[in-house]
Structure 1
Amino acid sequence: MSGTVIETRALGKVYSPGTPAEVVALRDVDMRIDAGELVSIMGPSGSGKSTLMNLIGCLDTPSSGQYLCKGVDVATLDAEQRARLRLDTIGFVFQGFNLLSRMSALENVAMPMGYAGVPRPERLRRAREALDSVGLAAREGHRPSELSGGQQQRVAIARALVNRPALLLADEPTGALDSHTGEEILGLFKRLQAAGQTVVLITHDPGVAEHCDRVLEMHDGALHEQARAMAGGRP
C-alpha cells in the first residue's frame, strides 16, 4: 500500500459556535500521514487530540477546513457514506478494549465483518487469520473474562484489522495495561507497521510516542510536529 492515507487542510472544530459556551477545539490543523507510517498524536487532556481523533476517524465532522481520507473529501459524504468509509477504511482500538463479554475471542473479531456483509465461513477464516497475526490463535474460544488485559487488547487489535483497513487508529491503547504488557502491545504495532500497516496512536504518554516514526503534539487545539525523531523511530 502506498500514497497518502490522511490529509487535513486548515481543519477546525468549534463547539456551540456563537454562544457563550463556544469552545474552539481545533485551530487550522494541517497534517499528512502516508501509508506505512507509525505516528503518534500526543497531548494532555483538553489539548484537542480527542477531537482530532474523532474527525480523522469519521466520527464527527469539522466546522472548517478539509479532511481527505484516502483521497476522499469526507465533507462530500452523507452519514451513511461516512459510516461505510469508516467501516472499510479505519480500524479502531480503544483503551477499554470494548469486547463483548458473552462472545469468544473469535466471535468478537469476526463481528465487524458481519456489518460488512461478509459470509460467515469467510468471517471465521479471516478472524482466525487476524488472531494468528497477533499471537492468539490458541485462544480463539476464550471469552474476555478468561483472557489477560494484554490478550484482550490483542483481540481488540485483531478485530480492528479484520476488515483490512488502510488506517489503524488507537486511542490510548496501553492506558489500561501494566508497563511490561504495554511494551508488548507497542511492539505489536511496530510489527504491524513493518508489514505495511498505517498506525496512528492517540496518547498523552511520551513513552508511547517514543516508539513512533513521527510525533505530532497538540496544544490548545493547534498541531505541532516535533523537530527530531524520537528514540525507536526513524533516524
Structure 2
Amino acid sequence: MNAVVRNTVPDTAVPVIETRALGKVYSPGTPAEVVALRDVDMRIGGGELVSIMGPSGSGKSTLMNLIGCLDTPSSGQYLCGGIDIARLDAEERAQLRLEKIGFVFQGFNLLSRMSALENVAMPMGYAGVPREERLQRAREALAVVGLAERAGHRPSELSGGQQQRVAIARALVNRPSILLADEPTGALDSRTGEEILALFKRLQDEGQTVVLITHDAEVAAHCGRVLEMHDGRLHERLHERAGGGA
C-alpha cells in the first residue's frame, strides 16, 4: 500500500463511496412498511477512516448492507468507485463485492477447522487466484496484522483479538478499495479493542479506506469523520479528535 493519509474529501476527489438521495423501504405499500433510509447523501474518499454511528434501529446496518452491495436501494443512487450499482446485475454486484469490498464482523466468522493461513486465503479461491499465490498473499496479509507467526494456528488456539486480526487479514487479502467493519470491537475487551482500532488507523495511514459501523461513541471518536444515523437520516458530526486513535 502507498503511504497516503487523507482525512477530508476534496471537491475534486473521486469518492470511493458516494450515495445520492439513497433510500430503502422494506415491505413497501403494506401495513408492515418500514422506511429504513431516507435521502442519504454521503461521500467518502480514498484513504479515509470514517465511522457510521447510531443506535439500534437508526438505519446504520441497512446503510452498511447497501454500501457493501449486500442489498439494493429502493430509491436514489449508489456509486462504488464511480460505478453505478444499479447498472449491475446480481452476478456483477457479487463480483464487485469480491474485488472491491472487504468485510470484518463482530463475530470474526472464521472457519474453526481451518488454520489462520487457510482462513485468510479462502476468499482468493472464489476469485480464481492460483494456490501458491493465495498462500503467499495470505502470509503477507497475516504479516500486515502482526500474526505471521500464528499462520498455522486454528481459531480455537487464538485469542479474541488475534481472531479479529485474522479476520482483518482475510478482508484485506483481495486488496479491496473499501474495508467495511461492522462493530469490529464489540466482542473484545477495551484494551484489545484499542489495539484493533490502532490497526485500522495504521491501515488508513497506508492508504486504505476504512468504514466502521458502530453504536459506540468512543469507537467512533477514533475516526477522522463521524457520520451519525438517526431515524434513517445521516448527519455529520465534527469533533476534535480527527484522525486520532491510537
Normalised to the residue count of structure 1, the TM-score between the two structures is: 0.98
**In 2, Cα distance between equivalents of 1:217 and 1:186:** 19
Distance (Å, rounded) in 1 between the aligned partners of 2:117 and 2:242: 32
The answer to whether the 8 A contact 2:14-2:82 is kept is: no
Q: Is residue 100 of structure 1 aligned with residue 100 of structure 2?
A: no
Deviations 1:142-179 (A, max 9, x none): 00000000000000000000000000000000000000
Runs ≥4 in structure 1, deviation > 4 angstroms? none
1:141 equivalent among 152, 158, 171 = 152
Q: Paired residue for 2:239?
A: 229
* Deviation of 1:229 (Å): 2.7
Q: Distance in 1 between matches of 2:201 and 2:189?
A: 18
Q: 1:211 to 1:73 in 2, by over 3 A?
A: same
Query: AA paired with 1:114?
Result: G
Q: Which residue of 1 aligns with 2:195?
A: 184
- CA–CA separation in structure 2 for the residues paired with 1:112 and 1:76: 25
Instruction: For residues 117-145 of structure 1, give each alpha carbon's deviation from its aligned partner in whole angstroms, at most 9, with x where no partner exists.
Output: 00000000000000000000000000000
What one-letter code is carried by the residue in structure 1 that aligns with 2:169? A
Alignment of 1:47-86 (within 5 A): 47-86=58-97
Q: Which residue of 2 aligns with 1:125?
A: 136
Partner of 2:16, secondary structure, is strand
Counterpart CA distance in 2 for 1:28 and 1:233 is 27
Asked if structure 2 preserves the Cα contact closer than 8 Å seen for 1:126 and 1:162, the reply is: yes
SS of the aligned residue for 1:217 comes to strand
Task: Classify the secondary structure of the residue corresponding to 2:167.
Answer: helix
Tell me the equivalent position of 2:5.
none
**3-state secondary structure, aligned to 1:7:** strand
Inter-partner Cα distance in structure 1 for 2:163 and 2:35: 36
| Equivalent AA in structure 1 for residue 127 of structure 2 | A
- Per-residue CA deviation, residues 69-119 of structure 1 (Å, 9 max, x unaligned), is 000000110000000000000000000000000000000000000000000
- Aligned: 1:17 with 2:28: yes
Distance 1:42 1:49 in 2: 7
Shift of 1:231: 1.9
Instruction: Tell me, yes or no, if the aligned pair for 1:209 and 1:230 is still in contact at 8 Å.
Output: no
How far apart, CA to CA, are the structure 1 residues paired with 2:174 and 2:32?
A: 39
Question: Aligned letter for 2:149?
Answer: A
Q: State the shift of 1:230 in Å.
A: 4.1
Q: Closer, same or farther in 2 for the Cα pair 1:134/1:78, shift >3 Å?
A: same
State the TM-score, normalizing by the size of structure 2: 0.93
Are 1:173 and 2:184 matched, yes or no? yes
Percent identity between the two aligned chains: 84
CA offset at residue 232 of structure 1?
A: 4.9
CA deviations on 1:31-63 (whole Å, 9 max, x unpaired) are: 000000000000000000000000000000000
Pairing 1:8–2:19 present: yes
**Distance in structure 2 (CA, Å) of the matches to 1:140 and 1:155:** 9
**Partners in 1 of 2:243 and 2:210 — Cα distance?**
13
Post-superposition offset of 1:3:
3.3
Secondary structure at the counterpart of residue 152 of structure 1: helix
Matches of 1:67 and 1:81, distance apart in 2: 15
d(CA) in 1 for partners of 2:91, 2:60: 25
Contact 1:215 1:230 in 2 (8 A): no
**What is the root-mean-square deviation in Å for CA atoms of aligned residues?**
1.0
